[in-house]
Amino acid sequence: MRTEAEMTLLRQNRELKKLGIWNWSLPAFAGKLPDGRNYNTCPSAGVCAQACYARNGTYLFPQVKARHQKNLTLVLDDLPGWKSAMLEELSRNKFDDAWVRIHDSGDFFSRSYLTAWLEVMHERPRTRFYAYTKEVAMFRKLVEPSPPRNFWWVYSYGGTQDHSLDPDVDRVADVFADEAAIDEAGWHSQSESDLRAVIGPAPVGIPANNITHFKARQAGRRWSDWQASVDAARAQRRARARDTTSPGTTSTQPR
Ligand code: SF4
């Protein structure tokens, strides 16, 4: 027989427990489920996938990975069933006035999944929900016009939709090399509490995790700058490819 903890959808890791935050997790980014299905829970991930804390350390422990994959399987195989189970769990008194972080790994990977979460939020108004997301276009369409009153979110840089963010209008978060770099840029660190990402001063700075190979890849840059340089290089490659295949250029000109 399974214990209550094993049946629970929402968890608290050590860090979030100190802050009274509950957490819903999916496996980060792309992978394969035990039944052979491929998935990508972060379809708009960009450079972040190369320095993703949730693709490192404890997240790779077999039991942790299995739990996150089981969560994803529940969502993929029976979204209405997952929604009912989530609503049932959130009806417990302990979630009144509590915070739920949607995804300490993974993102809103489809319209139907995001819609299911929005319905959960509407039906559990006494719980407060928050999320980081890179799904800018989907939020513009499905969330921004009429957000649930108990939902806070922040757009995080390092994704393929960075170019559509406007820090003067959108609430945004960026990963910096360290706290000094956040200060120097005049952004506001969320280190003291993860909730500052959504209810503290903005724009929001996050110091990079102290993971040597990730820091080496980041090379002291902000994720927004890192992503912008990747986007620029890609645009240049596309332009070169267009030039070499367009009519009238020496390489394709009929002789
Ligand atoms: S979106 Fe978040 S969880 Fe997904 S790869 Fe990027 S940093 Fe990791």
Instruction: Tell whether 247 is covered by a domain.
Output: no
For residue range 73-115, what is the model confidence (pLDDT) as tens digits? 999 999 999 999 999 999 999 999 999 999 999 999 999 999 9
Task: Output the residue whose Cα is nearest ligand 1's atom 5.
Answer: 49
Task: Classify residue 253: in a domain, yes or no.
Answer: no
DSSP letters spanning the chain: ---HHHH-S-B--HHHHHTTEEEE----SEEE-TTS-EEES-TTB-GGGGG-GGGSGGGGSHHHHHHHHHHHHHHHH-HHHHHHHHHHHHTSGGGTT-EEEE-SS----SHHHHHHHHHHHHH-TTSEEEEEE--HHHHHHHTTTS--TTEEEEEESSBTTGGG--TTTS-EEEEESSHHHHHHHT-EE-TT-TTHHHHSSSSEEEEPPS-HHHHHHHTT--HHHHHHHHHHHHHHHHHHHHHHHSTTSTTT---
* CA-49 nearest atom, ligand 1: 5
Contact 26, 46 (CB under 8 A): no
Give the number of domains in the chain. Answer: 1
Classify residue 250: in a domain, yes or no: no
Q: What's the length of the chain?
A: 255
Residue 184 lies in a domain: yes
Q: How far is CA 28 from CA 10, 110, 251, in A?
A: 16, 14, 43
Domain that holds residue 129: 4-239
The pLDDT value recorded for residue 251 is: 44
Query: What burial class does residue 146 get, using C-beta atoms within 10 Å of its C-beta: 0-12 exposed, 13-18 middle, 19+ buried?
Result: exposed
**Residue 251 located in a structural domain:** no
- Beta-carbon contacts of residue 235 (< 8 Å; ≥ 6 apart): none
Distance 28 CA to ligand 1 centre (A): 6
Helices 79-90 and 111-123: crossing angle in degrees, nearest 10, is 30
Tens digits of per-residue pLDDT, 213-231? 999 999 999 999 999 999 9
Q: Is 246 within the bounds of a domain?
A: no
Please check whether residue 150 lies inside any domain of the structure.
yes
With respect to residue 120, please indicate whether it lies within any of the assigned structural domains: yes
114's tokens: 């995001």
**Which atom number of ligand 1 is nearest to the Cα of residue 134?**
1
20 C-alpha to ligand 1 centroid (Å): 23
Spans of the chain, pLDDT less than 70: 1-7, 247-255
pLDDT of residue 254: 41
What is the CB < 6 Å shell around ligand 1? 28-29, 42, 45, 48-49, 52, 54, 105-107, 134
